[in-house]
A = this chain, B = another copy of it.
Amino acid sequence: MIAKEYRKMLENKSAIRELSEFATARGKEIGYENVFDYSLGNPSVPVPQSFTDTCIRLLQTQDPMTLHGYSPSLGNPYFKEKVAESLKRRFHLPYTAAHIFPTSGAAAAVAHAVRCVTEPGDEVLTFAPFFSEYTPYINQSGAVLKVVPANTETFQINFSAFEAMLNEKVMAILINTPNNPSGVVYSTETIQQLAAILEAKSQEFGHDIYIISDEPYREIVFAGVDNPCISQYYANTLVCYSFSKSMSLPGERIGYLAVNPACKDAETIVQMCGQISRGIGHNCPSSLMQLACAEVIDETSDLSVYETNMNLLYEALVEFGFTVVKPGGTFYIFPKALEEDAVAFSNKAKKYDLILVPGDGFGCPGYFRMAYCIDTEKVKRSLIALRKFVETEYPSF
């Protein structure tokens, strides 16, 4: 008999996927260039040419048995070293290769991290609005995800709700800054306050509480925004990183788990990842991708388009009367819908070929997400549709 749990999951179709499918179908009718598809977080700028050149050079010059050979179970040593050197240089923490575990993107890094620091039944807290995939990531590990309600004023942390939910069963806090879907970056003040609470509670509960810091948008931070390095403020931090967004490589599934050198049992945790991998069939990202990323470790795609798009959208949304927190990074913005039911709001927007994702799936009903990883020219055209949508559907607003 096939497993009930996974079969049942099939019934819950992802809202984002349904909207994206709608956008594709509508695109076939009117031309996709006329669909203002803000549904998917797919990078819209190419990988750096240096990455492509490096892949080609490796394929042309390296011994194929080495190039495509098994990575050691803890990952390719050269990749680990290059990542550690880069983190050390940039964040002034004594990373070595022994703190780095290569993973198939940030998703696999989170899957490993949660298994490292929880036993089945333990709780993991995250903060709304949150990336909806955290629910399967955490719950399938055997731990239980609990969501702290949003601070909708700023999309920083709602500390009073957080402290009320902290209890002895909480072993890890899963944070995502810069945040999907709000685009907000947690400030130094937020991180300091979070760290102080966790230190006090670790002492009180008599066990460590870990921060699992999901950071795929680390490199997409806008001018003048305070973007603190979590590991500088809290010892027991496991960073989950991906090259998907910074290098526009989402399909190549390459990222890493970086355990803070100051974390208790740091090197043991990396070694445990090797054991966890055996059970979930992970066994490292592609060897070619590890070697190519190692060679261009400090490069990113030209990410400037995201800030341009954000400014255009933010100014228009404010002008049209939306309540919206200005994003500090990512390629998302998360305004308040113009009626209480964001699903109804999003459905009405479809009539104007605007594809907006309701916030319900992100634990924040009444808001909606726009993923502005699209051409700036299209963002500009979408503003006309957005104005028409607001004026027609919400005339009294």
Contact = CB atoms under 8 A, between A and B. Distances in A.
Interface of A: 1-7, 9-10, 17, 42-47, 52, 55-56, 59-60, 63-65, 67-71, 73, 103-105, 107-112, 115-119, 133, 136-137, 139-141, 171, 207-208, 248-254, 265, 268-269, 271-272, 275-276, 278-289
A244 to B, nearest CB: 8
A116 B3 CA distance: 5
Given A104-B282, A108-B283, A283-B104, A250 B69 contact: yes
Contact of A7 (B1, B9, B60, B268): B268
B10 A271 contact: yes
Contacts of A275: 6, 9-10, 136
Given A2-B268, A65-B248, A111-B279, 20 more contacts: A1-B117, A1-B171, A2-B269, A3-B117, A4-B119, A6-B275, A9-B278, A10-B268, A42-B69, A47-B68, A69-B250, A104-B281, A108-B281, A136-B275, A137-B278, A251-B287, A252-B286, A253-B285, A281-B282, A288-B288
Contacts of A289: 286, 288
Contacts of A118: 3
Given A56-B59, A289-B286, A2 B272 contact: yes
Contact of A282 (B65, B71, B282): B282
Contacts of A284: 251, 253
15 contacts: A1-B207, A2-B265, A4-B119, A6-B272, A10-B268, A10-B272, A42-B70, A46-B64, A55-B59, A104-B283, A105-B281, A108-B282, A108-B283, A252-B288, A281-B282
Contact of A104 (B6, B46, B104, B251): B104
B286 A253 contact: yes
Contacts of A250: 68-70
Contact of A52 (B59, B249, B268, B269): B59
A253 B64 contact: no
Contact of A115 (B3, B42, B52, B69): B3
Contacts of A105: 281, 283
Contacts of A56: 56, 59-60
Contacts of A280: 108, 111, 140, 280-282
B52 A64 contact: yes
Given A7-B268, A286-B285, A117 B252 contact: no
A168 to B, nearest CB: 12
A374 B186 CA distance: 54
A257 to B, nearest CB: 10
Given A46-B64, A249-B68, A281-B137, A116 B1 contact: no
Interface centre among A64, A112, A207 (most CB of B within 10 A): A64
A69 B271 CA distance: 31
Given A1-B171, A2-B269, A278-B137, A253 B65 contact: no
A1 B265 CA distance: 10
Contacts of A107: 278, 281-283
